[in-house]
Structure 1
Amino acid sequence: MKTTLRLALLSALFTAPLIQAADLIPIDVHRDANCGCCKHWISHLESNGFKVNDHVEANMSEVKQRLGVAPRLGSCHTAVIDGKFVEGHVPAEQVLALRKRDDLLGIAAPGMPLGSPGMEVNGRSEAYQVIGLTRDGNDVVVAEYPAH
């Protein structure tokens, strides 16, 4: 009985990481090489089940324009998941929710709000919204985060 239990535990130990890796959600992140907060946001995504394909870009304005990110929604980095854009420091939970929103072209946390994922600075935070861009070009608030 002990041998069977040991074998089962060893099997679980060695196969669990393989199963986890297969379940990671792919996302492409485009960022400037000199932006540190972008790397922090990537870490936030990775710790929440995403496999990040990191693309260092020479011209982020061109990337944003190509992906349909309106200047009013702009931030420092732009991601793409399932053909939709994710602009700025959007929490992972909202990135996951975007995957179920066929009515949206993408979502954004405009600017660089303190306290958002990747923008944690000395415990300071500010209230911010995650804005969705509808297929007809309108902005809708998809989430609100209070200052804490």
Structure 2
Amino acid sequence: MRRLVLLAALLGSTVHAAEPLTIDVYRDPNCGCCSQWIKHLEQNGFTVHDHTEPNMSELKARLGVPPRFSSCHTGVIDGKFVEGHVPARDILTLRQRPDLLGVAVPGMPMGSPGMEMGDRKDTYEVLGLKRDGGEDVVARH
């Protein structure tokens, strides 16, 4: 709880500690980095409902995740998608941005949450898909 309050304060968010941060995560049962991303979310105050999904392509299409945003796992929070290795703090952006349908970190950049293997850290962007079909850079890491 304390971590969530601190995170909300750092972001200037109106999220209160009492508000639940529950996310559904859909993943291939054989993917190890997905499990590491789930641990990252849990360590940052999220309650995760973990679902193994045999047909991720169909799920992504149903949720409106554009192929160019694609990664290995897909989360859903407050009816919006979270595609790939999005840092926990950037997921909170969805609550502040009603113009977004979801956020994504396309691909699997090294050093992103769940991809911390070795010393390599790629730079990457968190992209937002706008309701009008446009894209917005939500964060750079």
Superposition RMSD on alpha carbons, in Å? 1.3
Q: Which residue of the partner structure matches residue 129 of structure 2? A: 133
The amino acid that maps onto 1:45 is L
Note if 1:110 corresponds to 2:106. Answer: yes
- Which blocks of at least 5 consecutive residues in structure 2 are unaligned? 1-17
Q: Which moved more, 1:22-31 or 1:82-91?
A: 22-31
Shift of 1:64: 0.3
CA–CA separation in structure 2 for the residues paired with 1:45 and 1:99? 16
Q: Which residue of the partner structure matches residue 85 of structure 2? A: 89
Instruction: Point out the structure with the larger helix share.
Output: 1
- Which blocks of at least 5 consecutive residues in structure 1 are unaligned? 1-21
Structure 2 counterpart SS, 1:33: coil
Q: Which residue of the partner structure matches residue 30 of structure 1? A: 26
Q: How many residues align?
A: 125
CA–CA separation in structure 2 for the residues paired with 1:95 and 1:64? 17
TM-score w.r.t. the length of structure 1 is 0.82
Structure 2 counterpart SS, 1:108: strand
Q: Which runs of 4+ in 1 moved over 4 A?
A: none
Rg larger for: 1
- Superimposed CA distance per residue, residues 105-139 of structure 1 (whole angstroms, 9 cap, x where no aligned partner): 00000000000000001121100000000000011
Q: Which residue of the partner structure matches residue 11 of structure 2? A: none
Structure 2 counterpart SS, 1:99: helix
